[in-house]
Amino acid sequence: MGTLMHARFLGTGVRALPVLSFCLVSLSWPTLTGAESTPPPHADAPATAEMTSNDVPSPIQEPEYSLDEDDHATTAELEAAEPPAPVASEPSTEVPPAEALLQLKPLNGTTARFTDLLTPPAEVVQEEASAQDQESDEATAYNVPIVLDPSVQGHIRFFNVSIRNRFEQWLIRLSHYRPLVDSIFSEFQLPSDLIYLSLVESGFNPHAYSRARAAGPWQFMKGTAKVYGLRVDSYVDERRDPVKSTVAAARYLRDLYDLFGTWPLAMAAYNAGEGKVMRALHTAQAESFSDIAKTRLIRRETKEYVPRFMAATIIAKNPDRYGFPQNDVRPHQFEEVVVKRPIHFKAIANVTGISYQELKVLNPELRRDATPPDDAEYHLKVPVGTREKVEQLLDRAPTHKFAPLPVPVRVRHVKPEPESGHWYRVRVGDSLERIAKRFNISVKTLKSNNNLTGPTIKAGSRLVIAN
- Could you give all domains of the chain from N- to C-terminal order, each with its CATH number? 7-317 (1.10.530.10), 335-396 (no CATH), 423-464 (3.10.350.10)
Is pLDDT above 80 for 248?
yes
Is pLDDT above 50 for 131?
no
pLDDT at position 299: 95
pLDDT at position 3: 43
Region 419-441: mean pLDDT is 79
349 or 139: which carries more pLDDT confidence? 349
pLDDT at position 408: 67
pLDDT at position 409: 58
Is pLDDT above 60 for 44?
no
Q: Can you give the pTM of this predicted structure?
A: 0.65
101 or 427: which carries more pLDDT confidence? 427
pLDDT at position 314: 97
Most confident of the following: 37-51, 55-69, 118-132? 118-132
Model confidence at 49, pLDDT cuts 50, 70, 90, reads very low
Proportion of the chain above pLDDT 70, given as a percent: 67
pLDDT at position 139: 58
Burial 238-249 (b: 16+ CB within 10 A, else e): bbbbbbbbbbbb
Considering 201, 274, 304, 365, which one is annotated as catalytic?
201
Is pLDDT above 90 for 102?
no
Model confidence at 25, pLDDT cuts 50, 70, 90, reads very low
Is pLDDT above 90 for 24?
no
Mean per-residue pLDDT over the chain, rounded:
76
The single-letter code of the amino acid at 49 is A
pLDDT at position 20: 35
201 tagged catalytic: yes
The single-letter code of the amino acid at 466 is A
47 or 310: which carries more pLDDT confidence? 310
257 or 465: which carries more pLDDT confidence? 257
Q: What is the rounded distance in angstroms from the CA atom of residue 186 to the CA atom of residue 180? A: 10
pLDDT at position 427: 85
Region 276-296: mean pLDDT is 96
